[in-house]
Amino acid sequence: MRHKHTLLLACACALGALAGAATLQADPGPDPEPTNTTTEEAPAPQLDLALVHRVIERQRRETWHWQRVMGRPLTRELEDPPADPTQQIEAWRKLALKMRRRAYNPPHKGAWLCIHRFEGAWHDPNAPYYGGLQMDEQFQRTYAPSLFRRKGTADHWTPLEQMWTAERARRSGRGFYPWPNTARSCGLI
């Protein structure tokens, strides 16, 4: 976590310095007799493109992380990317924030938390049902196959990953019926 904030702070400082340097103009000092009628501008500062690409890549990875949590297709490219690299950074940053906000607020979050309260601990490793929503292996393979391959059973998943998996099952037409007793206790069926 500390490394993430340090990198973002360094990138923000570097971008701020680049923006500040772009606004500075050379002070020609007092010149009693103008010798040239054309005005020469100071050369534009060079962007550290490697830094810009690292920051964009970091924002892309964060966007993709949250899209994977939600089971959504990954955004490989921006729809209408700005030409300016610093604006591209900002566009990816906004998209990453938007995806994080959505991921933290799954549909029916209150329902999943209620079911969890009656089911088990988020990291419950006891077979045949795993995690805070007590999902069996077939359920996990069906509604979160890549997550199951990457992390194993639901007791190794975050609570958000478990809720989004359950949400995919609900959307598939199963509703809250995989949890008949607890969903009834929560007033969901």
Average of per-residue pLDDT across 130-148:
96
What tens digit of pLDDT does each residue of 40-66 get?
666 656 668 889 999 999 999 999 999
Does the structure show a pLDDT above 60 at 11? no
pLDDT, residue 86, reads 87
Query: What's the pLDDT score for residue 22?
Result: 41
The backbone torsions φ and ψ at residue 10, rounded to the nearest 5 degrees and listed phi first, read -65, -40
pLDDT at 85: 86
Does pLDDT of 33 surpass 50?
A: yes
User: pLDDT per residue over 100-116, tens digit each?
Assistant: 999 999 999 999 999 99
pTM score, whole prediction: 0.70
Q: What is the CATH number of domain 109-185?
A: 1.10.530.10
The mean pLDDT value of the chain amounts to 84
State phi, psi for 5 to the nearest 5 degrees.
-70, -35
3-state per-residue secondary structure call for the chain: CHHHHHHHHHHHHHHHHHHHHHHCCCCCCCCCCCCCCCCCCCCCCCCCHHHHHHHHHHHHHHHHHHHHHHCCCCCCCCCCCCCCHHHHHHHHHHHHHHHHHHHHCCCCHHHHHHHHHHHCCCCCCCCCCECCCCECHHHHHHHCHHHHHHHCCHHHCCHHHHHHHHHHHHHHHHCCCCCHHHHHHCCCC
Q: How many CB atoms lie within 10 A of CB 114?
A: 19
**pLDDT tens by residue, 144-159:** 999 999 999 999 999 9
